[in-house]
Structure 1
Amino acid sequence: MNAVIRAIGGGLRTTFIGGASLFRFAPIIPLLAIVPEFVQHIAEIKLGMFASKDAFNALAMDPTRWAFGYAKLTGLALAIFAAARFHGGARHRWWDLRTIAWGPFLIAIGVNAVVTAIGYALGQVLSGTTLQVVTVLYQIATLPMLIFLVGPLLGDRSMTLRRAYTSGWLRALLAGALFMLAALPAQQLHQLDHTLAMGQPSAVVWGLMTWDSLLVGLMACWMGSGLAAGYWLGRPPATGGDRSGTPIHPASTA
């Protein structure tokens, strides 16, 4: 029990304090999310999205907005991955793509894509209580897929699908919990920023959208740091891995 409490405490510190520290120690990581987010906000303001709630709803699917939106989603994902690598064992060379276990990582991406597609298909053919029950059971059953993906990203070549299911349940649970704990409140505040901006003077809109862009960068850092902290059960390595890309940490051989 004490080990679990220490893991949770360490995970929270790494997620929120460690995540925020990236603005100081590796500012390019939050900028990966901040810059495309702010560029999209510029397009939204120019389109007149914040003139009113009706205008926002009418322009929500505007092609121009979504042209920037895809870049924003890409930047967010890259920032999350980079933050995870920084706190997951590659701090001094998180940018070095050679330390990613590319073969297992690409396989994990493919498997997770199939899992996501199956989950989507279930949502199309089921409904009501049946859908709710199946969704919960399916999410539980596929939870280890998270660390099956994160392990190779961090350079842990020992993480296999079998290992994820045989000994990875606790770290998958902690990684998922920290990820959601970082994402959900920040996402709610992100949505509130948009609501508050509707119908406001130009200066207020620009101010809110500038703050919102910084918030998205912070959220990405928190989410990625949470994945790394959960993967190493709250005790991410303090240094990078060896030449093979395997993190120097006892858990990597567990």
Structure 2
Amino acid sequence: MWLDIKRIYSDSGAFARALPFLFLIPVLIEFAQHVVEINIGMYDSRAAARGVSADDSRLALGYAKVLALTLPGYWFVRFMAWDRSAAKARAVERPAAMLFVVQFAILAAVQLFGLFGPPVGVLLGLEGTVATIAAAVAVVIQTIIGVYLTAWFVAWPLGNAAIGPVRSFGVMSGSFWRAIGYIIAGALPLMALHYALGLGAIGLPRAVVWVMMAVDAIVVGFLALTMMGANYTAARRAAERKGVSLLP
């Protein structure tokens, strides 16, 4: 498992070098959000950060960032699946590209509702602690379903329409906790650094904040890759145990 995790990070670095323009898409959108945050005074103090956290322009760019983080679901899984082939990663091939567009539209709708829709408690008519518990349960359920859909998330960008959402559950069955391990390993280190930079910048001189936010944007660019790389690795290992190919 350690070699798999090492490959996720090494392939992320190789992707950034081989396809810098694709790598920079989420980086630039993340930095654009930081520009807005700095201009509205989010890093001036903790009180200011709380006061502008729901600023419309910040939330709009936050949604754009979420979509940008989804894009490596096409590029990077292809890069890994075809042994660091930049040509295969950037190729707009059918049916792979069309299948990914369907996935992207579904994920965009889910994320839009998650960011701007009513909380689960409101939908269920709950209040107080019960509403908080319901929201937590919803997150857990969404996470579990997401793990079992990992093979689908990976197979369609590769052009394998045979592995849809239903079959994905079968492929991932028996590999849940191993998949969780990959996902944590691919997300936690850079996610922790991302939050450390954001929280650590509050109250610092403006020039220092700009530098930290530039670094953070690059961190988020790599985070987009390592999260998707973790999904690919989890799906690949699960498929191998089931004797299933993720490739078309």
2:162 paired with 1:196: no
Residues 160-189 of structure 1 deviation map (CA, whole Å, 9 limit, x = unaligned)? 344323333256654443233222332222
Taking the aligned partners of 1:253 and 1:205, their CA distance within structure 2 comes to 44
Q: Offset of 1:85 from its aligned partner? A: 2.5
2:161 paired with 1:166: no
Taking the aligned partners of 1:57 and 1:144, their CA distance within structure 2 comes to 35
Residue 97 of structure 1 is matched in structure 2 by 92
Q: Offset of 1:38 from its aligned partner? A: 0.9
2:232 paired with 1:228: yes
User: Cα distance 1:135–1:60, how it changes in 2: closer, same or farther (>3 A)?
Assistant: closer
User: Cα distance 1:64–1:154, how it changes in 2: closer, same or farther (>3 A)?
Assistant: same
Answer yes or no: is the 8 Å Cα contact 1:37–1:216 preserved in 2: yes
Q: Offset of 1:235 from its aligned partner? A: 10
Q: Which amino acid aligns with 1:19?
A: S
2:39 paired with 1:40: no
Answer yes or no: is the 8 Å Cα contact 2:120–2:134 preserved in 1: no
Residue 245 of structure 2 is matched in structure 1 by 251
Is 76-85 or 106-115 further displaced after alignment? Answer: 106-115
Secondary structure of the structure 2 residue equivalent to 1:94: helix
User: Cα distance 1:49–1:81, how it changes in 2: closer, same or farther (>3 A)?
Assistant: same
If the length of structure 1 is used for normalisation, what is the TM-score?
Answer: 0.73
Q: Offset of 1:194 from its aligned partner? A: 1.5
User: Cα distance 1:226–1:64, how it changes in 2: closer, same or farther (>3 A)?
Assistant: same
Q: Offset of 1:222 from its aligned partner? A: 0.9
User: Cα distance 1:175–1:110, how it changes in 2: closer, same or farther (>3 A)?
Assistant: farther
Q: Offset of 1:81 from its aligned partner? A: 3.8
Taking the aligned partners of 1:203 and 1:94, their CA distance within structure 2 comes to 37
Answer yes or no: is the 8 Å Cα contact 1:19–1:221 preserved in 2: yes
2:178 paired with 1:184: no
2:62 to 66, 69, 85: 69
User: Cα distance 1:97–1:173, how it changes in 2: closer, same or farther (>3 A)?
Assistant: farther
User: Cα distance 1:200–1:39, how it changes in 2: closer, same or farther (>3 A)?
Assistant: same
Is 187-196 or 201-210 further displaced after alignment? Answer: 187-196
Taking the aligned partners of 1:62 and 1:133, their CA distance within structure 2 comes to 27
User: Cα distance 1:231–1:44, how it changes in 2: closer, same or farther (>3 A)?
Assistant: same
Q: Offset of 1:110 from its aligned partner? A: 7.7
Q: Which amino acid aligns with 2:55?
A: D
2:19 to 26, 31, 34: 26
- Could you tell me which runs of 5 or more consecutive residues in structure 2 were left unpaired when the two chains were aligned: 114-118
Is 165-174 or 78-87 further displaced after alignment? Answer: 165-174
C-alpha RMSD of the superposition? 3.7
Answer yes or no: is the 8 Å Cα contact 1:11–1:233 preserved in 2: no
Q: Offset of 1:44 from its aligned partner? A: 1.4
Is 48-57 or 155-164 further displaced after alignment? Answer: 155-164
Q: How many residues are paired up?
A: 234
Taking the aligned partners of 1:27 and 1:175, their CA distance within structure 2 comes to 28
% same residue: 24
Secondary structure of the structure 1 residue equivalent to 2:15: helix
Is 224-233 or 198-207 further displaced after alignment? Answer: 224-233
Q: Which amino acid aligns with 1:150?
A: V
Mapping for residues 127-166 of structure 1, pairs under 5 Å: 127=130, 139-140=143-144, 143-166=147-170
User: Cα distance 1:14–1:79, how it changes in 2: closer, same or farther (>3 A)?
Assistant: same
Taking the aligned partners of 1:217 and 1:39, their CA distance within structure 2 comes to 13
1:59 to 52, 57, 65: 52
Secondary structure of the structure 2 residue equivalent to 1:200: coil
Answer yes or no: is the 8 Å Cα contact 2:45–2:203 preserved in 1: yes
